[in-house]
Structure 1
């Protein structure tokens, strides 16, 4: 009798709990991209954020629980609505969020005009001034990544980098730090990161039901 009760409890728990992987997130984003293509939107891009092994759990609007499976992925899709307005929509392992309009800042507008720089410039990997096995002994290094996909006038290109490549916190200076931070991609990324941080703190992201 106890075994039957445990089995029924397990089924009930499973029904109210969801786990989704990167493929699930990619499918949501692909649907959004297809929608933008149908609208013949000439300019849009996305950023995918994730840290290897980082798992997050959420209580959904319907009261059910949802968590990432293995790694949590957050994707932000941006598309232009006008000269000074763009929209943003967030997607993650637990579904999609409501889109909303934002003003295009001068820094973002400037970066998006530098399409050739965004396409050709590349982030260089972390490289210390000296080789020393103890250079990172006091550091807690988490493998966090950012991936970009740009679609400008039907042309697609992608960029990716590790957040660690931008840091300068080890025992020896990262010789590629100044180069990386001078890139148009990183200037755009810093602006977007600050914007997303403010949206998170102000509760701007609402899940779709």
Structure 2
């Protein structure tokens, strides 16, 4: 058994192995946002997705293995090219993906024009309509998070929420669910999630060499 384990370690070492954390991903995204700033791009934003403790492993184009350290982070950076087209680029613990041109849907265009709502509206935390002595035993708390940063001209702001805050996945109804799901930020989040899902399923995300 030990021989098999050491053989596996030698195989990993021979083909190359990388482990990258959140700081690695943040650095890639910061570089991209700085690049867009130098290009004087007036409208850009990103969404960071992560579920605490979720670990992912990938084989990179050069054959090396890469895995997330503790938690896998995926970040989707969007920037506007014109009134009809945006660019999307994905980043994760294992590097960057090639940018993709995305047609701006009517719904997304409407949401992005409502900048004041995106800036001022807040997702409220999950609040059950009742509380009992065994509240923790009756709740399933999701550890999945969404973090946003928007840059509209000189105006920059950040937003974040837990996916659990939008749901009713508990013993008692979430009294804030209706409010949260009516927000422009959450509407934008749903648009992005559908877009990303379609690209993932159709294999349109290609890693950069």
Q: Compute the TM-score of the two structures, normalised by the length of structure 2.
A: 0.92
In the aligned structure 2, how far is the partner of 1:140 from the partner of 1:169? 7
Report deviation, 1:142.
2.8
Residue 131 of structure 2 corresponds to 131
Gaps of 5+ in 2: 1-5
- SS of the residue aligned with 2:174? coil
Report deviation, 1:140.
4.5
Contact 1:136–1:170 (CA under 8 A) maintained in structure 2: no
Report deviation, 1:63.
1.2
1:13 aligns with 2:1: no
In the aligned structure 1, how far is the partner of 2:202 from the partner of 2:8? 38
Q: CA RMSD in A?
A: 2.0
In the aligned structure 2, how far is the partner of 1:187 from the partner of 1:98? 26
In the aligned structure 2, how far is the partner of 1:51 from the partner of 1:9? 28
- SS of the residue aligned with 2:178? helix
Question: Greater CA deviation, 165-174 or 118-127?
Answer: 165-174
Residue 70 of structure 2 corresponds to 70
Cα 1:165–1:97 change in 2 (3 A) is same
Report deviation, 1:201.
0.6
Report deviation, 1:70.
0.8
| Matched positions, count | 205
Report deviation, 1:10.
5.0
Contact 2:140–2:170 (CA under 8 A) maintained in structure 1: no
